[in-house]
Amino acid sequence: MARKSLVSEKAMDIEKRSMAIIEQEVGKHSYNELEWIIVRRIIHATADFDFAKQNAIIFHKDAIASALNAIANKCAIVGDSDIVLAALNKKSLNDFGLRCVCKISDAMVASEAKQLNKTRAEVAMRKATEINNGIVAIGNAPTALYEIIRMVNEGVVKPALIIGIPVGFVSAVESKEELLNVNVPYITNKGRKGGSTVAASIINALLGIYSARTG
């Protein structure tokens, strides 16, 4: 037990030092206090200082407040891949009573995707009934982001927050640009960068903000 405590303390010290290095190397930035907590966590997860550039991460004006309210209401977190959910802080999820959902590996999703000539990511979004009032985290599949945008525009669902940050060369940029026109809170970025690690780091930062506020 004592050894586990020492390991935990060492990990916390490394994280604290890492955050200090990020603060020192970035210096002045354009993000507000809460936005910076999220952007700093992204940089910590990726070691990519491009995310610190002005408007590299784009926040809807209600994004953080809506996410914190959803967490308080024990929302579901719906991911486009199991990797997003695997990287989330399990203690926080348990402490706050949050559910994690990812349908991408369901046999029915794979079968329906084949029948409809769609990607599994598209079908998985349609199957995730927990999206309403939940947090949707898309870090891998632009087709999943396009699908959730369609669902919102159709009035089928209204998530509390869409984290739309897929990585890639095909449709990643375009899907993020389309997200900017959706009438729900979102967090996204410009360009090809992103990924499951980035999506998970955004949620972990939101969980940290919520924990700090609730004590």
Which residues are known catalytic residues? 44
E strand intervals along 14-159:
57-59, 76-79, 99-101, 135-138
Q: Which residues contact 73 (CB under 8 A, 6 or more apart)?
A: 133
Which pair of structure tokens corresponds to residue 60? 């809807």
Tokens 């794979």, residue located = 110
Q: Return the closest-CA partner of residue 187 out of 74, 35, 84.
A: 35
Q: What is the Cα–Cα distance from 114 to 99, expressed in whole angstroms?
A: 28
In this structure, the strands spanning 57-59 and 186-189 are antiparallel
Q: How many degrees, rounded to 5, is the angle at CA 137 between CA 42 and CA 206?
A: 50
Q: What is the DSSP string of 15-56?
A: HHHHHHHHHHHH-S-S--HHHHHHHHHHHHHH--GGGGSTTS
Q: What is the Cα–Cα distance from 25 to 172, expressed in whole angstroms?
A: 28
